[in-house]
């Protein structure tokens, strides 16, 4: 047996108050004394995918970038592909040497299905004079940071990539 809800509500009584504030108390209309406006907080607006297998380095980068971006983490290209299938990213920050699927294989897998993402990649590596990596970087006209790098250098590189996308 179903019941029909009672939709009756009693009438609302409205009360109007007129308040007079003496001008000699120094109050201005609309401004409460001793009230400080809260600081505006900006929420991250962009999305960044960070692929890095080392927990300590990944945590440092995530902590630094999370004030500017919603950061998704992946310890290898395999997990990165799962993220790419589900979300769009403004920046893809990718280590080159990771287990299961490194940066180069990840790049080719992503750009095969989403060619426009190629311009969103920033690669980083600690292998400065690796001919295979240099060949790949030249072939795809990659943006690359060499480890160790400063966080301000990372910020400037991200800004540069974002400006190119406009």
Tokens representing 29 are 């209309």
pTM of the model: 0.74
Residue 54 and residue 101: Cα distance in Å, rounded? Answer: 14
160 in any annotated domain: yes
**Does residue 35 have a pLDDT over 50?**
no
Closest CA to 78 of 110, 115, 116: 110
Q: Give residue 44's pLDDT.
A: 73
Mean of pLDDT values over 38-43: 57
- Angle at the Cα of 108 from the Cα atoms of 105 and 109, rounded to 5 degrees: 85
Whether residue 67 contacts residue 44, with contact meaning beta carbons closer than 8 Å, is answered with: yes
Q: What is the pLDDT of residue 28?
A: 46
33 located within any domain: no
Do the domain assignments include residue 78? yes
Does residue 30 form part of some domain? no
| pLDDT score of 13 more than 50 | no
- What CATH number is associated with residue 74? 3.40.50.2300
Residue 7 lies inside a defined structural domain of this protein = no
Number of domains, the chain: 1
The answer to whether position 151 is within a domain reads yes
Find the domain containing 119 and state its range: 46-165
* pLDDT band (50, 70, 90) for residue 49: very high
Q: Looking at the domain assignment, is residue 96 inside a domain?
A: yes
């Amino acid at each position: 047996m179903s019941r029909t809800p009672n939709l009756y509500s009693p009438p609302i009584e409205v009360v109007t108050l007129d308040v007079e504030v003496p001008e000699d108390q120094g109050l201005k209309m609309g401004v409460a004394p001793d009230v400080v406006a809260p600081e505006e907080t900006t929420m991250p607006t962009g999305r960044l995918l960070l692929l890095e297998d080392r927990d300590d380095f990944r945590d440092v980068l995530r902590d630094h970038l999370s004030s500017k971006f919603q950061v998704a983490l992946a310890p290898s290209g395999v997990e990165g592909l799962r993220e790419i299938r589900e979300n769009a990213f403004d920046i893809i920050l990718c280590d080159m040497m990771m287990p299961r699927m490194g940066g180069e294989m990840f790049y080719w897998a992503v750009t095969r299905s989403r060619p426009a993402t190629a311009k969103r990649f920033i690669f980083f590596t600690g292998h400065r004079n690796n001919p295979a990596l240099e060949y790949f970087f030249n072939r795809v006209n990659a943006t690359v940071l060499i480890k160790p790098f400063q966080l301000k250098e990372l910020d400037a590189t991200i800004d540069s990539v974002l400006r190119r996308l406009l």
